[in-house]
Amino acid sequence: MELNAHVPAGPIQEQWESDQFNMKLVSPANKRRFEVIVVGSGLAGASAAASLAELGYHVTVFSYHDSPRRAHSIAAQGGINAAKNYQNDGDSVYRLFYDTVKGGDFRSRESNVYRLASLSVNIIDQCVAQGVPFAREYGGMLENRSFGGVQVSRTFYARGQTGQQLLLGAYSALMRQVGLGAVTLVPRTEMLDLVVVDGRAAGVVVRDLTTGEVYSKSAHAVILATGGYGNVYYLSTNAKKSNVTAAWRAHKRGAAFANACYTQIHPTCIPASGEHQSKLTLMSESLRNDGRIWVPKDANDARPAHEIPEADRDYYLERQYPSFGNLVPRDVASRAAKRQVDSGRGVGPLKNGVFLDFAEAIGRLGRSEIQERYGNLFEMYDRISGEDPYGTPMRIYPATHYTMGGLWVDYHLMSTVPGCFVGGEANFSDHGANRLGASALMQGLADGYFVLPYTVGDYLAGLLGQKAVPETHEAFKNAEREVSDQTKRFLGTNGKHSVDHFHRELGAIVWDQIGMERTRSGLEQALRDIPALKADFDRDVRVLGTADGLNSSLEDAGRVADFFELAELLARDALHREESCGGHFRVEHQTPDGEADRDDENFAYVGAWEWKGTGTPQTLHKEQLTFDYVHPAQRSYK
């Protein structure tokens, strides 16, 4: 396998434009001869499908939800970055590019990040035109706020529901194309295999989740926009159904999987309240703009928060990082919170959180201003915890939130399987080892609205005159058989424990050994424990019911089986990366004051893994990263 990123030549500011000019075009009359499959209907999937259909391609969208609008992009709260510089505070495309490369701890591809930063401004225009009701100033202009890891205000938002509003915008564009007949929408249908014929993506095998029917759909190109793999931890802020299956099955058909160990633990989530916890809820990072994070200085301080005087509080982020304070990037904030809780100074009944306190901000701005900014988040917190954050400080703790790793893609977002493109969180591309807040929405929409419609066209132009591989081809039939066989195996195992039981156990291993801090011995232990648990799962899982109807245990079984394999790769990738960077923190590699100790000499590369068959470890391929514009330095937020 050869990794060629196909980065265009020339100065970084001109690369995308010259690349666009050099791309082959497909004439309007020929576009309708091409079939494109989009899997997933989140920001990247819905925007790509709508934009490709507007161009004239015929698009089929598969979603396992009942409606495309339910994709997990909907849950993003805080905002979307764009280098509009409306605030006149010194922002620019170059600064957004610089911040993203630095925030990613110098592990992303500069060219991709520059393109992302330059497209960010078009995204805002597009979304406003669609009717996305972003927050506005009284004069009618768009409002911005600041976010962790940066010193300018470039984040656009719609109350605490920015993801929802952006997704509804993309969904409306998609539904318009459905109404026009340019998109065939197939809801409640899950992709279970990628079919590759003569080295090219030829289509997918799917299962209709209501009837259980397994069938194939062929196309000239396949776009995977299927999100991240945070649920490998079992407890995460991801939606319950979010999974790695589509990406993983593409990996097993030849798509390299990159940087699996870069997982983002978000600092501000509501701590677990007990064993029954089924998922964790994020409280937008924007809260750190006005909230102050602290713990009592004395671990045994049992007084309620408001009775603890200032002198007995430790605002540890403000103390350790005076220039960024509570707005340090996510990885830094998360590790700092973990250290407080590990040292016994955690707060709450289970001593598993730290305070995020708004008393000072309410005093300064008034309750109504805080309500205007964060009202819905406060309500959400109250509903979940039963505590009123206007009176009592919130309790927060880090939780898995986003995965920077994913399928390897080149500059055109094409994986190592020609014709298989990957957009949004499912690819590894733009965030390096750590994603900055409000950049996920930006990337998903940049990929879908402004990158894939061009690059997919360039690929298709080379296929002019060719028909899609027929679904009767034996590669499709074999893949269908494999999918049906797996289903039968799950239903026939008839063991003792539910799928969820195994998922929880797997999550515990991954969180303990491959969570916020990783050690060599822990990772080696994980590499022994995960296969052992997988063997138990294969032998002892209990999936009831039948294959010919709605059966959520059966759906989960396939997803958890893939999480097992992914977890092994996660451990292997984390073990081989003998450095600390961004979301990957190896205890052996830290500076004397406990910060990440990066090794640019030996590890400034993308680690892309090639599948070698079940039971055989993947092999590593390296894409060397060069930094011609932003020179690597140790990130300092002090």
Between 167 and 305, name the residue whose CB sits nearer to another protein: 167
> CB atoms < 10 A from the CB of 118, how many?
21
CA distance 337 to 344: 11
Between 180 and 532, name the residue whose CB sits nearer to another protein: 180
> Rule CB under 8 A: is residue 396 a binding residue for another protein?
no
Site for another protein (CB under 8 A): which residue of 184, 210, 371, 525? 210
> Rule CB under 8 A: is residue 21 a binding residue for another protein?
no
> Rule CB under 8 A: is residue 164 a binding residue for another protein?
yes
> Rule CB under 8 A: is residue 369 a binding residue for another protein?
no
Annotated active-site residue 288? The verdict is no
> Rule CB under 8 A: is residue 208 a binding residue for another protein?
no
Amino acid present at 350: L
CB of 273 to another protein, least distance (A): 4
3-state DSSP assignment of residue 193: strand
> Rule CB under 8 A: is residue 1 a binding residue for another protein?
no
Residues 455-514 that bind another protein (CB under 8 A): 498, 500-501
| Beta bridge partners of residue 437, listed in sequence order | none
Contacts of 161 (CB under 8 A, 6+ apart): 77, 376
Site for another protein (CB under 8 A): which residue of 10, 14, 24, 133? 133
CA distance 146 to 319: 21
Residues 562-591 that bind another protein (CB under 8 A): none
CA-wise closest residue to 226 among 253, 202, 248? 248
> Rule CB under 8 A: is residue 552 a binding residue for another protein?
yes
CB of 54 to another protein, least distance (A): 5
> Rule CB under 8 A: is residue 277 a binding residue for another protein?
yes
- How many residues in the shown chain lie near another protein by CB under 8 A? 80
The 3-class SS string of 5-57 reads: CCCCCCCCCCHHHHHHHHCCCCCHHHHCCCEEEEECCCHHHHHHHHHHHHHCC
Which range touches another protein (CB under 8 A), out of 71-79, 313-321, 461-469, 512-520? 71-79
CA distance 595 to 598: 9
What separation in angstroms does the CA of 519 have from each of 230, 337, 384, 516, 604?
20, 19, 34, 10, 20
Contacts of 631 (CB under 8 A, 6+ apart): none
Contacts of 428 (CB under 8 A, 6+ apart): 258, 259, 262, 404, 405, 406, 407, 408, 409, 606, 608
> Rule CB under 8 A: is residue 296 a binding residue for another protein?
no
Query: Which listed residue (115, 145, 330, 577) is catalytic?
Result: 330
Contacts of 174 (CB under 8 A, 6+ apart): 41, 46, 47, 49, 50, 53, 61, 68, 183, 185
- Longest CA span, the chain: 76
Residues 307-366 that bind another protein (CB under 8 A): none
> Rule CB under 8 A: is residue 50 a binding residue for another protein?
yes
Between 381 and 609, name the residue whose CB sits nearer to another protein: 381
Lookup: tokens for 160: 């605490």
> Rule CB under 8 A: is residue 138 a binding residue for another protein?
yes
Site for another protein (CB under 8 A): which residue of 10, 131, 322, 344? 131
Site for another protein (CB under 8 A): which residue of 33, 70, 345, 395? 70
Site for another protein (CB under 8 A): which residue of 3, 30, 86, 519? 86
What separation in angstroms does the CA of 406 have from each of 207, 221, 321, 351?
23, 19, 31, 34
Site for another protein (CB under 8 A): which residue of 15, 51, 81, 100? 51
> Rule CB under 8 A: is residue 282 a binding residue for another protein?
yes
Lookup: tokens for 365: 């701005």
Residues 442-461 that bind another protein (CB under 8 A): 449-450, 453
Which range touches another protein (CB under 8 A), out of 271-279, 361-369, 424-432, 508-516? 271-279
Lookup: tokens for 448: 């879908």
Between 173 and 570, name the residue whose CB sits nearer to another protein: 173
- 552-571 burial by CB neighbour count: b if 16+ within 10 A, else e? ebbbbbbbbbbbbbbbbbbb
Between 5 and 186, name the residue whose CB sits nearer to another protein: 186
Alpha-helix residue ranges (DSSP H) falling in 131-252: 162-179, 245-252
Site for another protein (CB under 8 A): which residue of 14, 17, 89, 137? 137
Amino acid present at 418: P
Between 470 and 549, name the residue whose CB sits nearer to another protein: 549
> Rule CB under 8 A: is residue 274 a binding residue for another protein?
yes
> Rule CB under 8 A: is residue 128 a binding residue for another protein?
yes
Site for another protein (CB under 8 A): which residue of 65, 145, 251, 292? 65
Site for another protein (CB under 8 A): which residue of 108, 126, 245, 263? 126
Amino acid present at 28: P
> CB atoms < 10 A from the CB of 273, how many?
15
> Rule CB under 8 A: is residue 154 a binding residue for another protein?
no
Amino acid present at 486: Q
Tokens 């249908």, located at residue: 189
Site for another protein (CB under 8 A): which residue of 3, 7, 23, 135? 135
Site for another protein (CB under 8 A): which residue of 125, 298, 342, 485? 125
CB of 541 to another protein, least distance (A): 10
Between 72 and 292, name the residue whose CB sits nearer to another protein: 72
What separation in angstroms does the CA of 8 have from each of 12, 14, 21, 452?
9, 9, 11, 16
> Rule CB under 8 A: is residue 33 a binding residue for another protein?
no
User: 458: part of which helix (H) or strand (E)?
Assistant: helix 452-461
> Rule CB under 8 A: is residue 519 a binding residue for another protein?
no
CB of 227 to another protein, least distance (A): 12
Catalytic residues, by residue number, are 330
